Structure 1
Amino acid sequence: MEAERGGAGPVWVSETLRVLGTALTGSSAPPTAWFKESSQKNLRSRDFLVPRGALKKSFPDGETPEELLQKLTSLNVPGVPPIRTCQRSATGLVIQLDRPAVFHRVLKDFTPYLKPAPSISDSGQRVVILNCTPLHSCQRLETFKLSHLRAVLIADHLAEVLRSRGEQVHLVPAVRNKEVEVFLSQLGVSWPCSTEAPILEESVTSFKDYLKEKIHSNNIRLNPGQPVDESSQRVLFSVPLKSIAEEQKLCLQGYDPNLDVFLVNEEDLAHVARLQRSVRESAKTATPCVVLHVVSCEEEFHQQKLDLLWRLLDPGATLITQKFLICGPVKVLGSPAPVSGPQYFHLRKSQMREASVMKYGDSVQGASWDEIINSLTSAAIKFELMATPHRTQVTLNTEDTNITTKGTKSGAFVMYNCARLATMFDSYNCAVCQGLYPDFPPPGDIDYSGLSEEGEWLLLFNYIMMLPEVLSQSAQISLTSPGIRVTANTEVVCKFLVNLSMDFSCYYNRVHILGEPLPHLYGQMFARLQLMKAVRNVLHSALRTLHILPLTQI
């Protein structure tokens, strides 16, 4: 069967680019010449491209050998989709895939496309300790800032995508305040909660004893002063971090040059004790350990001090890789006073309810609508705080007009399209129960040749096949790179979901998926429904990394 040409397993965009690059250059070096097309205009004629300028690096005369074209057209490699044509054009060397065969390969079993693409970690299997620093000091809900909320949401998402890639992840610290725990659960944040174990008190006591022993030899001063204000903890020790680090020949590259004296309080020692305990627990697995501090920008300087204090208190910490992922500030427009995370949640929830009432009227009431509005609010806030690169400032608008149930750039719009899909499948299942449609056939028996709409290929090629790449990109953090700062692509999932929702919405509004109950129309309807099943599952899988429950009705 033509649809099976090239094998029966899943196909991967990254693997295709690698194989095409190797075929072009004859080298196993990372491919740089080939590009995957994504715009609807270009996808009308090609799926992959080598620009003419790049071709000249391999073929100075500008002529691509005919045997190379034949080789590329006849590629039969696991992980690479079947190719229909490979041609020279004015833009360069272009490839168009055998689209009916690709539809069949992907849609007969789309489950491999719901998780990160297969890859080899830059350091092999490891334990990643995600230290969300705002949660150490935030012991009351009133002190939970928007910048704290942004850091927590990013850490929560990172934990999910790292686990989906096979990493072992430990979350530090456990939430100790019940109000903070309830607030985070409203947002779907999956974070451990517990009271402090006695072993933590023992560690803090041992740290105090150690610092007291070092008072004379390292210029450490005991109880140097009172707290700055009533909200501050009492200072226990004054530790000249920079001079001690230089004496112990610790590398300070990447640290703030103004690091000097650290006024250490009880909470600082508890913070170090929690990290130490988590590292010791992970050491039981005999797996390399990396500590990733997810820090709001205003707390980075303090966390660098804690990093060096940990090395002073625990010699074993010098062997632990510590990296910093910095979250930019959150600015609120139209608010004369600072807005806390809980205040912003309640504001957005109120606005979402008002927008829902304006659209759906008096039906917006009862437990089911409360769940819908909570879900919409959680999605809206997460997309607002996470759709921007983590190191960039987020600017929020508190005006009522900034929140709607269908704004195309919002998390609520993504949820709305999840509900549309759920409603469509409910309609199909009801029609089956009424005898209007036959039962759904096995996906491998469906004829996908009727999927010829531009929007159908767009949904498959840009989204269903690309989710593994997006999830891998979101979790791509070089924890072995030099320096102490790292970057992650935590914004890509939100952007992916918004773009998918817009393209799905255009397709859904243009194409009649559930056709007339006539036998000669069933083939195309089943192909489209299977495509929609894949879109639905892609939406749900991507939302799962954000801990957002998709809506099933609205």
Structure 2
Amino acid sequence: MDAEPCRTGPVWVSEALRVLGKALEGSCAPSTVWFKESSQKNLRSRDFLVPSGALRKSFPDGEVPADLIQKLMSLVTPGLPPVKKCLQAEAGLVIQLDRPEVFYRVLKDFTPYMKPLPTADDGQDIVILNCAPLQSCKSLDTLRLSHLRAVLLADHLAEVLTLKGKQVYLVPALLCKEVEEFLSHLGISWSCLVDTPSLEETVSSFKDFLRDCIPNSTDVDSTQSPGVIGVQLKTLAEKHNLCLQGYDPNVDFFPVNEDDLRHIARLQKSVQETVKTSSCTVLHIVSCEEQFHQQKLDLLWKLMVPSIRDVTQKHLISGPVKVLNSTLPTSCLQYFQLRKSQMLEASVMKYGESVQGESWDQIIDSLTSAAIKFELMAIPHRSQVNLNLEEVNITTKGTKSGAFVMYNCARLATMFDSYNNAVSQGSYPEFPPAENLNYSSLREEGEWLLLFNYIMMFPEVLSQSAQMSATSPGIRVTANTEAVCKFLVSLSMDFSCYYNRVHILGEPLPHLFSQMFARLQLMKAVQSILHSALKMLHILPLTQI
């Protein structure tokens, strides 16, 4: 069979695992599975592995038949990376890919790796993201750190779900210009529109409905809370056969005020304006302190508007944010200003008096935005974030910080600027077409690590970060909102090790150009991955530092 036609189209790790697993069907026990290797040590000798323990369970003598090994060696299918060798070793059944061929298949056109893998449609074409803390945020002073975390999560989810092909709508429109300006410093563009008169008409109709149509609803006698209406939620929910699976068992009496009704009215308006014929999910992004209250609003909405019971409502909980070594509350503005001053101080210490002017203002703003987002988003959304406001590793010295990721973006940009300047001076030739490069010259361990663990895995990370089941039982969902941050940190660490060890821009000698161009093409792919991932966080990558 002519191998040339197989050199078309991208290759996928997920497809390799699927095809290799299918090839073992009937020969091995169902529990026998392939694993993708990721550590630099193991990648020296193998890319995929069935552990020896699993083989002993599948074959009586622990020996893999020669015809099965030959079958695995001869697999050819679209999307499957070409196999170089398959053998049984001490670790188990080992496959090593034809690495020069994989480099060629990926790097000649790496644009397919900038998108999430296609997944089975969950039927929810429209997602309304309700960032609950913003519903009552009337000034920057009322925006707590836990609220800011919820906003960042909502903003990130909107980006990854849109990339996945969903129609995403953010609710509510911001109530305060001051909050809008603050969020813009973090790269978040959130519409800032005033509520229309029709919204107040809906609120008024909800009040009339509660007083006239809901039995046992009462005006709560309180001089501090005028206009509050008490509703027995649990009793009414059971009467109307509403499923209470996943709700707090203490959800019962609810003193409903105008802000609550306005919150529901905005959600009602968003559903009416966006849902035509497609199904819809309303995802409430709520801080842990307010999750109980959001459950009450969820039930009240269903009771007042029966048609909403067909709309899927899910709750994604944002964990608390705790400031360490401080007894005083820290506002979002104070937190931002502190991190910005630390970024400025670190930059001045490293680059001296050149740190001034508009371009440096933009650099400091980008570094600050990255630092804050990685701090608040790099751990699972339901876990507590512990902020050490005196943490020196928040600067570029800390390899797990957003600033470190940005620093490596700048290193790549500077390297490509150096190459382009050398081309303009005639030292280097123009970059040749990617499909004409000699990828067999990429023999460094770090080069395969960057390709196999990051470029080829980025679609999987994007799919993982947008993965949530809207049809799962109960009302809570989890999402892998930390996946992109963790991926960027890991990529930056391995790229930095490679960059510090390998001289990419070699001497301007013709016999060195082939390897230099192959390495530069690999770096182009790494740069594209970094920029695409940062876009998912609305962080502007640095082009100089």
* TM-score greater than 0.5 by the shorter chain: yes
Q: Cα 1:75–1:125, aligned 2, differ >3 Å: closer, same or farther?
A: farther
Report what 2:387 is aligned to: 396
Within the alignment, does 1:47 sit opposite 2:47 as a pair? Answer: yes
* Counterparts of 2:237 and 2:437, CA distance in 1: 67
Pick closer, same or farther for the CA change 1:413–1:3 going to 2, 3 Å: farther
Aligned positions of 1:201-220 closer than 5 A:
201-214=200-213, 218-220=215-217
Instruction: Kindly report which structure 2 residues correspond to 1:338-357, keeping only aligned pairs within 5 A, or say none.
Output: 338-357=329-348
TM-score (norm 2): 0.97
Deviation string, structure 1 residues 335-370 (Cα, Å, up to 9, x no partner)? 221112121011110111111111111111111111
Q: Give 4+ residue runs of structure 1 displaced > 4 Å after superposition.
A: 1-5, 29-32
Match of 2:147 in 1: 148
Q: Provide the rounded CA distance (Å) in 2 between the counterparts of 1:438 and 1:331.
A: 54
- Alignment partner of 1:308 is 2:299: yes
CA distance in 2, matches of 1:60, 1:396: 55
Q: CA deviation at 1:79?
A: 1.1
In the alignment of these two chains, the number of paired residues is 545
TM-superposed deviation, 1:235: 4.5
Choose which of 197, 222, 226 in structure 1 pairs with 2:223.
226
Letter in 1 for 2:535: R
Residues 519/452 of structure 1: CA separation in 2 closer, same or farther (3 Å cut): same
Counterpart of 1:508, as a letter, is Y
| Other-structure match for 1:230 | none
Letter of the 2:117 counterpart? A
Query: In angstroms, what is the RMSD of aligned CA positions?
Result: 1.8
The amino acid across from 1:6 in the alignment is C
Distance 1:31 1:11 in 2: 25
Equivalent residues in 2 for 1:413-428, closer than 5 Å:
413-428=404-419
Matched-pair identity in % = 71
Q: Matches of residues 88-487 of structure 1 in structure 2 within 5 Å? A: 88-121=88-121, 123-124=122-123, 126-214=125-213, 218-227=215-224, 234-284=226-276, 286-399=277-390, 401-487=392-478
TM-score (norm 1): 0.95
What CA distance in whole angstroms lies between the structure 1 residues aligned with 2:374 and 2:491? 14
Contact 1:172–1:274 (Cα < 8 Å) also in 2: yes
Partners of 2:305 and 2:31 in 1: CA distance: 44
Deviation for aligned residue 1:406: 3.0
- What is the CA distance between 1:9 and its match in structure 2? 0.6
Tell me by how many angstroms 1:31 deviates. 8.3
1:242 & 1:80 partners in 2: Cα distance?
54
Asked if structure 1 preserves the Cα contact closer than 8 Å seen for 2:393 and 2:401, the reply is no
- Code of the residue aligned with 1:279 in structure 2: it is V
Give a deviation string over 1:365-386, Cα, whole Å, max 9, x none. 1111111000000000000000
Match of 1:504 among 484, 490, 495: 495
Cα 1:134–1:421, aligned 2, differ >3 Å: closer, same or farther? same
Q: Distance in 1 between matches of 2:60 and 2:471?
A: 38
| Structure 1 residue 388: Cα displacement | 0.6
Alignment check: 8 A CA contact 2:137 2:175 kept: no
CA distance in 1, matches of 2:409, 2:61: 52
CA distance in 2 between partners of 1:30 and 1:263 (Å): 55
Q: State the distance in 2 between where 1:138 and 1:235 align.
A: 20
Cα distance in 2, alignment partners of residues 211 and 56 from structure 1: 67
How far 1:479 moved relative to its partner? 1.1
The code of the aligned residue for 1:65 comes to P
Closer, same or farther: CA 194–31 of 1 in aligned 2, 3 Å: farther
Name the CA distance, whole Å, in 2 between partners of 1:3 and 1:433. 39
Post-superposition offset of 1:400: 5.5
- Deviations, residues 105-135 of structure 1 (Å, cap 9, x unaligned): 00000000011112223x1351111111001
Q: Cα deviations across residues 232-274 of structure 1 (Å, max 9, x unaligned)?
A: x645200110111111111111111111111111110011111
CA change 1:32–1:179 in 2 (3 A) is farther
Residue by residue over 1:123-163, the C-alpha shift from the partner in whole angstroms, topping out at 9 and shown as x without a partner, is 13511111110010111100110000001101111110111
Q: CA deviation at 1:199?
A: 2.1
Q: Is the 8 A contact 2:32 2:55 kept in 1?
A: no
Distance 1:263 1:487, change over 3 A: same
- C-alpha displacement at 1:60, in angstroms? 4.0
Q: Partner amino acid for 2:237?
A: A
Q: Deviations over 1:468-523 (max 9, x none)?
A: 00010111101111111111111111111011101101100110100111111110
Q: Relative to structure 1, is the Cα distance of residues 57 and 205 closer, same or farther in structure 2, using a 3 angstrom cutoff?
A: farther
Runs (5+) with no aligned partner, structure 2:
none
Displacement of 1:4 in angstroms is 4.7
Give the drift of 1:52. 1.6
For residue 16 of structure 1, report the CA deviation from its aligned partner: 1.3
Unaligned runs of 5+ residues in structure 1 are: 228-232
Do the aligned partners of 2:187 and 2:369 also contact (CA within 8 Å) in 1? yes
Q: Does 1:535 align with 2:534?
A: no
**1:530 Cα offset (Å):** 0.2
SS in 2 for 1:6: helix
Q: After superposition, what is the alpha-carbon deviation per residue over 1:404-440, rounded to whole angstroms, capped at 9, x for unaligned?
A: 2231010000000000000000000000000001000
Q: Is the 8 A contact 1:3 1:100 kept in 2?
A: no
Q: Are the counterparts in 2 of residues 234 and 266 from structure 1 also a CA contact under 8 Å?
A: no
- Structure 1 letter corresponding to 2:338: L
| Structure 1 position 42, deviation (Å) | 0.1
Say if 2:37 and 2:47, in contact at 8 Å, map to a contact too: yes
Amino acid at match of 1:178: K
Indicate conservation of the 8 Å contact 1:131/1:292, yes or no.
yes
CA contact (8 A) 2:88 2:94 kept: yes
8 A contact 1:477–1:486 mirrored in 2? yes
Q: After TM superposition, give the deviation of residue 30 of structure 1 in Å.
A: 9.8
